[in-house]
Chain A
Amino acid sequence: MRAAVIVFPGSNCDRDLAVAFEQAGADVTMVWHKDTALPEGVDIVGVPGGFSFGDYLRCGAIAANSPICRSLVAHAERGGYALGVCNGFQILTETGLLPGALRRNSGLKYICRTVGLTVETTDTAFTSGYSAKDVINVPIAHHDGNYFVEDAKLAELRDQDRIAFTYTDNPNGSVADIAGVVSRNRRVLGMMPHPERAADSGHGGTDGTAMFRAMLEQFANA
């Protein structure tokens, strides 16, 4: 599996994400936001957490319009895979690759703690290593993770089995407890919780490891 992890000014989970991909056996290249092309033959693009461009204007808005994100959109439109975590999820919604938007947390506070997530679908390259309705523990660390999607779109997400994870105890006001969603072709996942921070025994939990292993298997079988 060849992975690329994008680095924006203000990204702070880029190396964690790269390490999680590497531990699963991927060959990882870091790419800078000003790069105009992804490395040749990349299977999956990681869009990391952090505070790209200082969260100016809106979280993810400026990053979504950076040169590398034009290549990311083209990669996804060709059927390429992408994983956006936290700020990466915000960026993916801003590019339009994923529906909805992330608003300020309903309690207005930045929340940094481990939460329970229910695996809502195992029918993705990211979640096939879990069983349906598994509850996993993964950290969140965000101020703007309150997922919004209009009713019609929510119905579509449900009908198409595109809700990847929900919170067991909604921490931020997200519509329908949604913590992560996939694209229509199921190859782009955005999620607010950080699986790369639950991917090593030193993290205090390894419930995220199965995600990275599942991705590797997907590409090994492809």
Chain B
Amino acid sequence: MKARVFVMLKNGVLDPQGEAVRHALGSLGFDGVEGVRQGKIIELDLAEGTTEATVTEMCEKLLANTVIESYRIELG
């Protein structure tokens, strides 16, 4: 089974990389880009039967730093 973990900086935490991307899009002539947030996707190949609770534990312990990041898990 597969799981995907989406890790994003929390709202309210400045994302300087997202801001740089927003500026670059503006300079390419794309108007109206009001905000860009950059995150990461982590794909996991897991043994059948791995529970969402286990993946949550992985996120809490390693995959995300919950001081500044939020995460979302997609199973299957």
Contact = CB atoms under 8 A, between A and B. Distances in A.
Interface residues of B, number: 12
A12 interface: no
Contacts, number: 37
A114 B65 CA distance: 29
B16 A107 contact: yes
Interface string A145-169: 0101110000000000000000000
B28 interface: no
A57 B59 CA distance: 12
A58 B16 CA distance: 15
Interface stretch (A1-9, A68-76, A93-101, A212-220): A93-101
Contacts of B68: 101, 103, 148
A61 interface: yes
Interface in B51-68: 61-63, 65, 67-68
A108 interface: yes
Contact of A108 (B20, B63, B65, B67): B20
Contact of B17 (A62, A101, A104, A150): A104
A72 B8 CA distance: 29
Nearest to A99: B67
A35 to B, nearest CB: 20
A61 B60 CA distance: 12
A148 B10 CA distance: 12
Interface string B34-66: 000000000000000000000000000111010
5 contacts: A58-B65, A101-B65, A104-B17, A108-B20, A173-B14
Interface of B: 9, 13-14, 16-17, 20, 61-63, 65, 67-68
